[in-house]
């Protein structure tokens, strides 16, 4: 079965999962509306010259606070891209959810295709996006960070599979995916550790060095976010 046809099927089968996001208005959820507000604050900070964005001067009743110093930043950079296209924050947030859902199906298919034939890989990719947890993230919790993080998790495991036969490619994909996973949602760092365990179980000892390089580069690429967050955590009071 041709890959182009498989990818068309993936997009078609993904449509029911994102159909509600194409309608007018914004779905009510726990944090979805907050993501719209924070994206607008993020945009204002970028417009004021902050890069990377750490401080929101408008939020917290106008007193400002360093929300983006601790809140996962990647979804807002992606949201900013869509805002520049559509010029509406609600539409931008919905497009992050839409693209994240479709891209998650594609990346999972790509990884599974390394282990199975096309149809089982297609079934696994659809199961990945039609699990209740992802639907809860999008339509109940409004967790844009977790929804985006699901895009990169399969790529981390794919990179582990590549570390023996194509080590350079595996290191590059793995480092970028690990960094993107951490920047998508703080909690998703657990998948980086799970990928490391997967690598230690499946890879020969000679490939462990490549694994270490991959994880070190991924940590370095995302250090601009997690290092200040850890260092300044002592200044935060719940």
- DSSP string computed for 36-86: HHHHHHHHHHHHTT-SS---BSSTTTTT-B-GGGTS--HHHHHHHHHHHHH
* Cβ atoms of residues 210 and 174 within 8 Å: no
CA quadruple 162, 198, 157, 4: dihedral sign? positive
Residue 25 pLDDT grade (very low, low, confident, very high; cuts 50, 70, 90) = confident
| Phi, psi for residue 114 in degrees, rounded to 5 | -75, -15
HSE at residue 68, side-chain half, CA atoms within 13 A, is 28
Q: Using the 8-state DSSP alphabet, how is residue 137 labeled?
A: I
**Cα(46)–Cα(7) distance, rounded to whole angstroms?**
35
Read off the pTM: 0.90
Query: With 70 as the cut, is the pLDDT of residue 238 above it?
Result: no
Among 27, 20, 14, 9, which residue's Cα sits nearest to residue 129?
A: 14
For tokens 């690598």, what's the residue?
Answer: 199
* Cβ atoms of residues 127 and 150 within 8 Å: no
| pLDDT, averaged across the chain | 90
Distances (CA, A) of 31 to 64, 84, 103, 143, 199: 19, 22, 22, 6, 35
Cis peptide bond upstream of 52, omega within 30 = yes
pLDDT in tens, 29-86: 888 889 999 999 999 999 999 999 998 988 888 888 888 888 899 999 999 999 999 9
* Cβ atoms of residues 206 and 54 within 8 Å: no
**Cα(128)–Cα(122) distance, rounded to whole angstroms?**
10
HSE at residue 81, side-chain half, CA atoms within 13 A, is 7
Residue 109 pLDDT grade (very low, low, confident, very high; cuts 50, 70, 90) = very high
Percent of the chain with pLDDT over 90: 61
pLDDT in tens, 191-217: 988 999 999 999 888 888 999 999 999
For tokens 């993107």, what's the residue?
Answer: 180
Distances (CA, A) of 104 to 55, 76, 150, 155, 209: 30, 18, 6, 10, 28
């Amino acid at each position: 079965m041709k890959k182009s046809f498989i990818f068309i099927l993936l997009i078609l089968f993904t449509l029911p999962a994102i159909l509600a996001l194409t309608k007018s208005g914004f779905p009510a959820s726990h944090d979805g509306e907050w993501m719209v507000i924070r994206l607008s604050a993020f945009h204002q900070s970028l417009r004021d010259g902050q890069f990377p964005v750490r401080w929101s001067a408008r939020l917290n009743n106008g007193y400002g606070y360093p929300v983006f110093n601790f809140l996962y930043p990647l979804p807002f950079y992606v949201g900013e891209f869509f805002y520049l296209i559509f010029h509406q924050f609600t539409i931008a947030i919905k497009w992050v959810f839409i693209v994240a859902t479709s891209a998650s199906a594609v990346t999972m298919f790509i990884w599974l295709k390394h282990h199975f034939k096309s149809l089982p890989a297609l079934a696994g990719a659809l199961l990945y996006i039609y699990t209740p947890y992802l639907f809860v993230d999008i339509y109940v919790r409004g967790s844009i960070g977790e929804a985006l993080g699901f895009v990169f998790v399969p790529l981390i495991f794919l990179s582990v599979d590549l570390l023996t036969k194509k080590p350079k490619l595996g290191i590059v994909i793995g480092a970028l995916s690990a960094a993107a996973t951490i920047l998508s949602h703080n909690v998703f760092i657990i998948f980086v550790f799970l990928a490391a365990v997967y690598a230690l179980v499946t890879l020969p000892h000679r490939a462990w060095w490549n694994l270490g390089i991959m994880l070190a580069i991924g940590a370095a690429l995302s250090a601009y976010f997690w290092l200040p967050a850890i260092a300044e955590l002592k200044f935060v009071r719940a």
